[in-house]
Amino acid sequence: MELDRIIHEPVRLRIMATLGGVATADFTFLVSTLGLSKGNLSSHVDKLEAADYVKVVKRFNGKITNTQYALTPKGRKALEKHWVTLDHLRAVSKRQRKIE
C-alpha cells in the first residue's frame, strides 16, 4: 500500500496525528508538545497547508496573536487512510509471524 508522502515525513506525521486527536491546537501547544523550533513548525505547517490538509486561523487575544491549527476534512481523510495502512501493515506482520 502506498503511503501519502506529504504526511509520512516524521515531523509532519506527528503534527497531523496531534491535530487528529483534537479540533484545534495552537502554536504554543504544537511547539511544546512536539519539541519543534518555531521555524521548523512553520515550514512543515506551510507544506500541510499547501496540500489543504491543515487550516490556519489567526486570532487576536488583546494585542497578542494566537495562531490555531486544525485538520481540514481532506486532511482528516488522509490521516484516516494512514491508519488503514497501519492496519494493513499489522495484518502483514501477523501473517509473517505465523509463517515463521
Partner 1 sequence: MSGPSEKSEREQLEEAQQLQQWVRHYAQNRSLPVMVALAEFVLLFLAIGVPSYWGGVAYRAGNIPVFVVCVVVVIVAMAATIFVSVPRWGGRRLQQMSEALYAREGSVTISAPQAHRPWVVAAIAVAFVSCVLGTVVLGLLGYLPSSRYMQPISALYVVPFLVALNFLMRPMTGYIPLLWPLLYSLHAALIVAGAPIVFVGPWESLNMLVPIAGYGVLTSLVGHIYSRWALHNARAIVSRQLDRADLVQDGDQA
Q: Segment contacting partner 1 (CB under 8 A): 37-45, 49-57, 85-93?
A: 85-93
Q: Does 57 bind partner 1 (CB under 8 A)?
A: no
Q: Of 32, 37, 39, 60, which lies in the binding site for partner 1, with binding defined by CB under 8 A?
A: 32
3: its cell numbers:
503511503
Amino acid, res. 69: Y
Shortest spacing between CB 82 and partner 1, in angstroms: 7
Q: Which is nearer to partner 1, 9 or 49 (CB)?
A: 9
Q: Which of 67, 75, 43, 71 is nearest to 55 (CA)?
A: 71
